[in-house]
Homo-oligomer: A and B are copies of this chain.
Amino acid sequence: MKKQMVLRTKKNDMSSQPIGIFDSGLGGLTVAKEIFRQLPYEDVIYYGDTARVPYGNKSKKTITKFSLENADFLKEYNVKLIIVACNTACSLSLQALKKKIDIPIVGVIEPAVKRAIQISKNGKIGIIGTNSTINSKAYDKKIKKIDKAMQVSSKTCPLFVPLVEEGWLNKDITYKIAKTYLDCFKRRNVDTLILACTHYPLLIKVISTIMGSKVKLVDSASEVAKVAKTTLKRIDSLSEEKEKPSYQFYVSDEPAYFTKVGEKFLGRKINCARKV
């Protein structure tokens, strides 16, 4: 077991503790990027469960087991807040995590849903994600819980993640695949589309081209960072020390692939350590 770690010499209150983020792999780096941007004085521990990625086609029981293990790993680093950056884990396991882990936990679903409801003018919201996220209906249920009048439609886009990892972000083929997946939303006249997978922000140019400028895209990474900030303020744990923060990345498998592709996600160098 790893020992608790204090990343910088600061007064030993909650504000100096790092924020923990976990994801099934590297998709959550889009969330990390937003945290770095919106909360520039926070230390961050990122954990990608790359030995067991992807979570997209796995069962609730399996995902919950993995998620609890991931949260336990972050707890060893004395994190003050855990962000579950994986949509599948949020869809299937957020309640179990909140019940069992005694640290504030923020998921990616609710922030995106609230934003979508807020900006939709015609009440027609679309959702795209992996098989598990879409089949779980977690987004649909959350939207309906907040506003019954919303009309929700959703679609699995299983090729988007491998397209992103392949780096085919601006190819003809990518536009064609996106058109195949997204045309149904245009027929249904949705005016707001939630990107319910952390890989999808890298396809934002493709998706917005297909959907047209009238359709608003909601990227959960940006929304979850706002909620993380509000949560830390509420519990009086926002870091106020204007030092250069420390970012640490851990993975459950060898870091080579994570580092190579992850640097494209983050737009910065990753010095990655493997989980023991």
The residues of B that contact A53 with a CB separation of less than 8 Å are 57
Question: Do A61 and B176 have beta carbons less than 8 Å apart?
Answer: no
Q: Is A6 an interface residue (CB 8 A)?
A: no
Q: Is A235 an interface residue (CB 8 A)?
A: no
Partner of A51, one of B52, B158, B254: B52
Q: Is A131 an interface residue (CB 8 A)?
A: yes
Residue of B nearest to A251 (CB): B59
Interface size on A, residues (CB 8 A): 27
The residues of B that contact A172 with a CB separation of less than 8 Å are 176
The residues of B that contact A50 with a CB separation of less than 8 Å are 57-58
Stretch at the interface among A78-86, A113-121, A161-169, A239-247: A161-169
A59 to B254, CA, bound (A): 6
Question: Do A62 and B173 have beta carbons less than 8 Å apart?
Answer: no
Partner of A180, one of B51, B173, B253, B257: B173
Q: Is A184 an interface residue (CB 8 A)?
A: no
A33 to B136, CA, bound (A): 32
A62 to B253, CA, bound (A): 7
Q: Lowest 8 CB-CB distances: which A-B pairs, in order?
A: A59-B254, A162-B162, A51-B62, A57-B257, A58-B253, A59-B253, A62-B253, A159-B162
Task: List chain A positions with a Cβ less than 8 A from chain B.
Answer: 50-54, 57-59, 61-62, 131, 158-159, 161-163, 165-166, 172-173, 176-177, 180, 253-254, 256-257
27 contacts between A and B (CB under 8 A): A50-B57, A50-B58, A51-B52, A51-B58, A51-B59, A52-B52, A53-B57, A54-B54, A57-B253, A58-B253, A59-B253, A59-B254, A59-B256, A61-B254, A62-B253, A62-B254, A131-B257, A158-B162, A159-B159, A159-B162, A159-B166, A161-B162, A162-B162, A172-B176, A173-B173, A173-B180, A176-B176
